[in-house]
Amino acid sequence: GVDDHVVSRVSAFAKSSGYLKLIYRSDRKPALRALLEESFRKASDSELQQAIREASPVGESQSNSRAESAVLRIQDMVRTYKCALESRIGSRIPCDHPIFHWMIEHAASIYNRFVCTEDGNTPYPNVHGQRYKGRPVEFGEQVFYFVPKRLRAKLILRWRLGTGLGN
C-alpha cells in the first residue's frame, strides 16, 4: 500500500533522476500501483513533468523478467547485509526494525552503482552520464565523517567516528 516513507523516497529518487518524463512498468497489483502513482504525483509537484505507466500484459510475467531478477538480487543483498550486521553487533535484528529502510536503500544504491547489466554497464552511468567515482562502504561499517566548519566550534575535531548506513 501507500507508505509515507516509501512514497517520499520514491518521489525523491524520481526528482533526483534528472528526467522530466518517466515511463515505468509495474504489474497489475493495486497496492504497488497506488504507491507508484502517489509517489510520482508528489514528484510532479516540482521537477518531474510526466510519469507514464506501462502495464505488463495479463499472464505475461516474462515481460517483467529483468525487474524480477533485480528484485531477487537486491533481496539477496539485503539478506547478506543483515547477516553481516548481526554478526558484527552480536545480536539478531528483527525484520520490522527501522534500520531496514536504510539497508534496502543501500542495497539498491550498490546494485545501481556496481552490478553490471547485460550491456556491460551499471545502471548509474545510464542515468548520470559517467561512472560512479565514490568509494563503497559496507553497511554498518565504522567510518570517519567530516563535520563542516559552521557546525563545530574552533577546537572541536573536524572528523568524527560514525556508522555508515548507505552511500
Q: Contact 125/146 with Cβ under 8 angstroms?
A: no
Per-residue pLDDT at 158: 94
32-64 burial string, b = 16+ CB within 10 Å, else e?
eeebbbbbbebbbeeebeebeeeeeeeeeeeeb
CB 108 within 8 A of CB 74: yes
Q: b/e string for 135-148 if b means 16 or more Cβ within 10 A?
A: eebebbeeeeeeee
H/E stretch holding 146 reads strand 142-146
Whole-number pLDDT of residue 60: 61
Q: What is the pTM of this model?
A: 0.72
| pLDDT value for 64 | 67
Alpha-carbon distance of 43 to 37, in angstroms, equals: 10
Q: Contact at 8 Å (CB) between 82 and 53?
A: no
For residue 57, what pLDDT is reported? Answer: 67
Average pLDDT of adjacent 10-residue blocks, the chain of 167 residues: 83 76 76 84 73 70 72 93 93 92 89 83 80 88 93 92 86
Q: What is the pLDDT of residue 56?
A: 67
